Copies of this chain bind each other. A is one copy, B any other.
């Protein structure tokens, strides 16, 4: 089996060294970047299985790097920060971080979180066929069945449903959904999204006035259940 590749983006050499030793001795392949810019380039050239990203970078804040990465990088990103910056956590997680770890950290905990994050990457690609109540979604075949009967969805509708269902249970922000489905330019076109959510609900919900699958989180986004 191939070693899973992990990219470390952190400006402190001793932290990078510590992470490198810990990770390589646990059979990961490690890549390193000292600045946000460098990290983004490395991730683009050679997308790793997981990124460890420090919040306090010299060139640009880790939050900005996170946002930039999240425009195209879908796998796990674990944020690292110094102690006592709880306010950063909610922000980072809102911007799409997978998890969060405060420095200094115990290596057992680091490894546990990395395993969990990588497992999540994989489950994303494995569970391509899912059953949610009366709904059956088959992503490779691009089909959706409700109560055994095939539904007719447009391409965009299907992409939207697939995105939501892969992230079952978690809230996806409007921004994130728009970026994923319509690309960078559409991030503020919330109205698009509403219209498509409407047509989707009409098709997949038994009663579209009382949606069971697609829940609205006012001010934030939508959640598939």
Contact = CB atoms under 8 A, between A and B. Distances in A.
Nearest to A70: B84
Number of identical monomers bound together in the oligomeric complex: 2
A90 interface: yes
Interface stretch (A6-14, A25-33, A45-53, A122-130): A122-130
Interface string A99-136: 11110111001000000000000001110100000000
B90 A105 contact: no
B124 A90 contact: no
Contacts of A124: 83, 102, 104-105
A180 B86 CA distance: 10
Contacts of A151: none
B155 A218 contact: yes
How many residues of A sit at the interface, in one of the four size bands? 35 or more
Nearest to A225: B150
Interface string A140-162: 11110000000000111001001
Contacts of A83: 74, 124
A99 B128 contact: yes
Contacts of A84: 74, 96
Contact of A98 (B97, B140, B166): B140
Interface in A168-224: 169-171, 180, 217-220, 223
Contacts of A106: 125
A170 B163 CA distance: 19
A102 B86 contact: no
A100 B74 contact: no
A89 B154 CA distance: 19
A18 interface: no
5 contacts: A84-B96, A100-B128, A104-B124, A105-B125, A154-B218
Given A100-B125, A100-B126, A101-B125, 15 more contacts: A86-B167, A89-B126, A89-B139, A89-B162, A90-B159, A101-B126, A102-B125, A102-B126, A105-B124, A142-B170, A142-B217, A142-B220, A143-B169, A154-B219, A155-B217
